[in-house]
Amino acid sequence: MVSTLSNLIFYIYIAECIMATLSPYLNFNGNTEEAFNFYKSVFGGEFATFQRFKDVPGLPGTENMSEADGQKIMHVSLPIGNGISLMASDSMESFGHSLTVGNNFYISINADSEAEASELYTKLSDGGTVQMEMQKTFWGAYFGMCTDQFGIQWMINFDYTQH
């Protein structure tokens, strides 16, 4: 645990030196909405994004989704200060996701360019595991996910609409 924490602190330090934004991304087992209403009561403010799975146009796998799964949270973002947002989604067993406490968070990097996003992704995934190749997404971003060689999970994002 100390080694993982030390690695995480090192990554956060490095990211603060070279990145515009670094945010924690949490996964929940169907109670994201409850958790984020709690976090909103703690930190104040309003949700920057609040999107249910049923509201995502053309998301693969949603055509036969149950009503209960459709109500789950696909993405929520709550600004908590100093350019940092707390973000999350519900883990969907019907999509093959498995949530275990300890694997239910990512470090999300918002890169300053598509080239920077690709470079970070390539370096972080080297020796690790690719979860989602870098690609253009329906939400207007260039995005990918990986686990580095030390077991730290990363989301790399370049938002076209912000640049």
Domain limits for position 77: 2-162
3-state secondary structure (DSSP) of residue 33: helix
H helix or E strand, kind and range, residue 94:
none
- Computed on alpha carbons and rounded to an integer, the radius of gyration of the chain in Å comes to 16
Q: Are 152 and 125 in contact (CB under 8 A)?
A: no
pLDDT tens profile 83-93: 889 999 998 87
CATH code (residue 52): 3.10.180.10
Q: Which helix (H) or strand (E) holds 116?
A: helix 114-125
Domain count, the chain: 1
pLDDT score of 142: 97
Question: Euclidean distance between the first and final Cα of the chain, in Å?
Answer: 38
Is the model's pLDDT at 103 over the cut of 80?
A: no
Q: Report whether pLDDT(22) > 90.
A: no
Tokens of 57: 């146009």
Separation in Å, CA 80 to CA 11, 39, 52: 20, 9, 21
In this prediction, residue 99 carries a pLDDT of 78
